[in-house]
């Protein structure tokens, strides 16, 4: 699942994984989990994440290789947030060829930049159940999760100061992957505007 920060990759990847009965593998979630647990990986990654930069390729490739080797990924998987650089894409290709299960498709979710900035400013995550919600910016940082009543929090890297850097990093490091996967005939381009259901229907329609 490819797309800039705020395009809706996480939401759509989670739903697609549920529909297909395969794991949703979000490298951002894995890194945030490691950071919350205070592991060495987590501490190392936190510095890059807080700053809106990328965790080095060698760390990410090792992490994904290990995750894809777990039993639940044997029947397939949805990758969300990986690969993010040409180096990661090449390593992933090699890894999947080695294990005899190449990618079936790369879904790119496209959203205009001013819409992305607006969405990220209003994005909150439930501190208890992890549900992502959109709040009106005027509403401020407080509020409760509709699913479980947990506290709604803003990710540190969704703060306005960091969002611009994440966009630049996306354009420079990750956007070139669009051409890479188009050339391989794997790219499925989706407009990410509209409701979550509309976007999901577009994705499943392109994966027939």
Residue 80's DSSP bridge partners are 26
How many CB atoms are located within 10 Å of the residue 6 CB? 25
User: In terms of CB distance, is 172 or 205 closer to ligand AMP?
Assistant: 172
In the bound complex, which residue of the shown chain has the CB atom lying closest to ligand AMP? 28
Size of the site for ligand AMP (CB under 6 A): 16
Query: Which burial class, exposed, middle or buried, applies to 77 when counting CB atoms under 10 A from its CB (0-12, 13-18, 19+)?
Result: buried
Residues within window 60-89 making contact with ligand AMP, judged by CB under 6 A: 60, 81-82, 84, 88
User: In terms of CB distance, is 60 or 190 closer to ligand AMP?
Assistant: 60
Rounded to a whole number of angstroms, the minimum distance from the CB of residue 80 to ligand AMP is: 7
- For residue 55, state whether it binds ligand AMP (rule: CB under 6 A): yes
Known active-site residue 32: no
User: In terms of CB distance, is 27 or 108 closer to ligand AMP?
Assistant: 27
Can you spell out the DSSP letters for 107-171? EEEE--HHHHHHHHHTEEEETTT--EEE--GGG-S--B-TTT-PBEE--GGGSHHHHHHHHHHII
Known active-site residue 166: yes
Do the beta carbons of residue 123 and residue 134 sit within 8 Å? yes
Residue 151, phi then psi, degrees to nearest 5: -75, 140
Helix (H, G, I), strand (E, B) or coil at 188: strand
User: In terms of CB distance, is 129 or 205 closer to ligand AMP?
Assistant: 129
Known active-site residue 84: yes
Catalytic residues: 9, 84, 123, 155, 166
Positions in the binding site for ligand AMP (CB under 6 A) = 5, 27-28, 31, 48-49, 53-55, 60, 81-82, 84, 88, 157, 166
């Amino acid at each position: 699942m490819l797309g800039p920060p705020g395009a809706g990759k996480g939401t759509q990847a989670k739903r697609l994984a549920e529909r297909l009965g395969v794991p949703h593998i979000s490298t951002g979630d894995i890194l945030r989990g490691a950071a919350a647990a205070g592991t060495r990986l987590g501490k190392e990654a936190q510095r890059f994440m807080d700053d809106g930069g990328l965790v080095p390729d060698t760390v990410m490739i090792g992490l994904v290789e290990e995750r894809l080797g777990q039993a639940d990924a044997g029947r397939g998987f949805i990758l969300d947030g990986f690969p993010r650089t040409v180096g990661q894409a090449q390593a992933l290709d090699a890894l999947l060829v080695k294990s005899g299960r190449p990618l079936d498709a790369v879904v790119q979710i496209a959203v205009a930049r001013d819409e992305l900035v607006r969405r990220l400013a209003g994005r909150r995550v439930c501190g208890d159940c992890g549900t992502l919600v959109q709040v009106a910016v005027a509403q401020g940082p407080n509020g409760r999760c509709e699913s479980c009543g947990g506290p709604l929090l803003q990710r540190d890297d969704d703060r306005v100061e960091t969002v611009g850097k994440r966009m630049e990093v996306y354009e420079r490091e990750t956007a070139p992957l669009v051409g890479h996967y188009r050339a391989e005939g794997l790219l499925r381009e989706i407009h990410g505007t509209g409701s979550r259901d509309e976007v999901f229907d577009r994705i499943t329609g392109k994966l027939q």
